[in-house]
Structure 1
Amino acid sequence: MKTEHVMIGLSIAAALATLPSTALASASSNALSGIDTSEAPRVTQTVDSRVVSALGNTHLSLLDTVSPTGAVSDSTPMNHMQLVLQRSAKREAALQSLISAQHDPSSGKFHQWVTPQQFGQTFGVSDADIAAAAAWLTSQGFKVNGVLPNKMQIDFSGTAGQVKQAFHTQENHYIVNHVTHIANSGDISMPTALHSVVIGVAGLNDFRPQPLHQQPQVAQFNGSSQRFKIQQSPKANASASSGPTPMVNFEGGVRGFAPYDMQTIYNTSPLYTQGLTGKGIVIAVVEDQDMDVSDWPNFVSQFGLGGYGGTFTQFQPLLSPDTGNCTDPGGNNPDEESIETVLDSEYSTAVAPGASIWVATCNDAGSSNFFGGVFTAASNLINGASRPNIISASYGYGEGFTDSASKTAIDLMWAQADAEGISVFVSSGDSGSNPSFNGSIINGVPAIDANSFGSSANNTAVGGSDTADVLDGDSSKYFNTTLNAVYGSAKSYVPEITWNQSCGNTRAAKDLINGTALQFCKNALIYDPYGYYVTSESGSGGLSSVVSKPSWQRIVHGALKDQSRDLPDVSLFAGSYGGYSWVILCTGFYPCTPNFTSSVQLEGGTSLSSPMFAGIQALIDQGLQVAGGSANQGNAAPTLYELARNEYGGPTGSAPSTLAACDADNGTKGTSKCVFHNITDGGNSTQCIALQGETTTDCYYYGTIQNFEGFYGPTQVGLTSSSTTKYNANTAAFAAQAGWSAANGLGSVNANNLLSAWKSFDGL
Structure 2
Amino acid sequence: MAGSEANGTIVAPFNPSDVSTYFANNLPAGEPKPSVYAYPVCGAPNPGPSSAKDVTGANVESTLDLEMAGSTAPGASIVEVYAATPCTSELNSAFASVLSPSYNTTVNNALSKVIAISNSWGATDCNDSTWMQYEMEASARGITVLASSGDNGNTPSPAPSFPASMSYDDFGTLAVGGSCTELSGTASSNGSGTTGIVTQSVWFNTPQAGNGSQGGVSKIFSEPDWQSTSSDANGVITGASSISGVPAGRGTPDIAGNGANMCIFLSTASTTGYYGVDGTSIASPLVAGQISVIDHSLGKPVGFVNPMLYGLGQEQYSGGLGAKPVFYS
Q: Is the shorter-chain TM-score for this pair beyond 0.5, marking a shared fold?
A: yes
CA contact (8 A) 1:314 1:361 kept: no
1:136-285 to structure 2, matched below 5 A, reads: 238=4
Deviation at residue 452 of structure 1 after TM alignment: 1.4
1:17-166 to structure 2, matched below 5 A, reads: none
Mapped partners of 1:557, 1:638: distance in 2: 14
Mapped partners of 2:270, 2:197: distance in 1: 29
Match of 1:622 in 2: 296
**Paired AA for residue 676 in structure 1:** F
Mapped partners of 1:635, 1:426: distance in 2: 13
Q: Which has the larger helix fraction?
A: 2
Deviation at residue 292 of structure 1 after TM alignment: 0.3
CA contact (8 A) 1:390 1:424 kept: yes
Match of 2:185 in 1: 479
Deviation at residue 382 of structure 1 after TM alignment: 1.8
**Paired AA for residue 199 in structure 2:** P
Mapped partners of 1:574, 1:313: distance in 2: 22
Deviation at residue 585 of structure 1 after TM alignment: 0.9
State the Cα deviation string for residues 379-435 of structure 1 (Å, max 9, x = none).
221234725111000110111xx4x5xx2222222122111111111000001136x
Secondary structure of the 1:295 match is: helix
Is it true that 1:383 corresponds to 2:100 in the alignment?
Answer: yes
1:603 to 264, 271, 277: 277
Deviation at residue 346 of structure 1 after TM alignment: 0.3
2:306 to 631, 634, 637: 637
Residues 312, 373 of structure 1: CA spacing in aligned structure 2 closer, same or farther, 3 A cutoff?
farther
1:493 to 197, 208, 221: 197
TM-score in terms of structure 1 length: 0.35
Residues 589, 503 of structure 1: CA spacing in aligned structure 2 closer, same or farther, 3 A cutoff?
closer
Deviation at residue 480 of structure 1 after TM alignment: 6.3
Match of 1:549 in 2: 223
State the Cα deviation string for residues 691-711 of structure 1 (Å, max 9, x = none).
xxxxxxxxxxxxxxxxxxxxx
Match of 2:327 in 1: 676
Match of 2:105 in 1: none
The size of the alignment, in residue pairs, is 292
Match of 1:57 in 2: none
State the Cα deviation string for residues 670-696 of structure 1 (Å, max 9, x = none).
xxxx4225xxxxxxxxxxxxxxxxxxx
Match of 2:14 in 1: 291
Match of 1:455 in 2: 165
State the Cα deviation string for residues 731-764 of structure 1 (Å, max 9, x = none).
xxxxxxxxxxxxxxxxx4xxxxxxxxxxxxxxxx
Residues 306, 462 of structure 1: CA spacing in aligned structure 2 closer, same or farther, 3 A cutoff?
same
Secondary structure of the 1:545 match is: coil
Mapped partners of 2:23, 2:35: distance in 1: 11
Q: Which runs of 5+ in 2 are unaligned?
A: 102-107, 239-246
Mapped partners of 2:293, 2:255: distance in 1: 17
CA contact (8 A) 2:267 2:273 kept: no
Residues 599, 293 of structure 1: CA spacing in aligned structure 2 closer, same or farther, 3 A cutoff?
closer
1:279-428 to structure 2, matched below 5 A, reads: 290-305=13-28, 307-316=30-39, 326-330=42-46, 332-333=48-49, 334-336=51-53, 338-364=59-85, 370-371=87-88, 373-384=90-101, 386-399=112-125, 402=126, 404=127, 407-428=128-149
**Paired AA for residue 94 in structure 2:** A
Residues 413, 623 of structure 1: CA spacing in aligned structure 2 closer, same or farther, 3 A cutoff?
same
Mapped partners of 1:310, 1:352: distance in 2: 9
1:531-546 to structure 2, matched below 5 A, reads: 535-546=209-220
Mapped partners of 2:35, 2:274: distance in 1: 21
CA contact (8 A) 1:289 1:362 kept: no
**Paired AA for residue 301 in structure 1:** A
Mapped partners of 2:176, 2:252: distance in 1: 8
CA contact (8 A) 1:329 1:361 kept: no
State the Cα deviation string for residues 267-319 of structure 1 (Å, max 9, x = none).
xxxxxxxxxxxxxxxxxxxxx952101112111110134633233233226xx
State the Cα deviation string for residues 293-351 of structure 1 (Å, max 9, x = none).
1112111110134633233233226xxxxxxx632245521523611011000011111
CA contact (8 A) 2:16 2:47 kept: no
CA contact (8 A) 1:364 1:371 kept: no
Mapped partners of 1:415, 1:239: distance in 2: 36
CA contact (8 A) 2:39 2:79 kept: no
Secondary structure of the 1:360 match is: strand
Deviation at residue 563 of structure 1 after TM alignment: 4.2
State the Cα deviation string for residues 222-276 of structure 1 (Å, max 9, x = none).
xxxxxxxxxxxxxxx7599xxxxxxxxxxxxxxxxxxxxxxxxxxxxxxxxxxxx
CA contact (8 A) 2:35 2:75 kept: no
Greater relative contact order structure (CA < 8 Å, 6+ sep) = 2
Mapped partners of 1:591, 1:355: distance in 2: 32
Deviation at residue 491 of structure 1 after TM alignment: 6.7
CA-based RMSD = 3.3
CA contact (8 A) 2:186 2:196 kept: no
Secondary structure of the 1:642 match is: helix
Mapped partners of 1:491, 1:588: distance in 2: 35
Mapped partners of 1:657, 1:383: distance in 2: 42
**Paired AA for residue 18 in structure 2:** D
Is it true that 1:587 corresponds to 2:266 in the alignment?
Answer: yes
Secondary structure of the 2:179 match is: strand
CA contact (8 A) 2:158 2:214 kept: no
Mapped partners of 1:354, 1:591: distance in 2: 32
**Paired AA for residue 453 in structure 1:** P
CA contact (8 A) 2:266 2:273 kept: no
Residues 382, 363 of structure 1: CA spacing in aligned structure 2 closer, same or farther, 3 A cutoff?
same
State the Cα deviation string for residues 149-197 of structure 1 (Å, max 9, x = none).
xxxxxxxxxxxxxxxxxxxxxxxxxxxxxxxxxxxxxxxxxxxxxxxxx
Mapped partners of 1:239, 1:550: distance in 2: 42
Mapped partners of 1:371, 1:556: distance in 2: 33
Deviation at residue 362 of structure 1 after TM alignment: 1.8
TM-score in terms of structure 2 length: 0.78
Mapped partners of 2:37, 2:90: distance in 1: 14
Mapped partners of 2:288, 2:176: distance in 1: 10
Mapped partners of 2:34, 2:80: distance in 1: 11
Mapped partners of 1:372, 1:330: distance in 2: 20
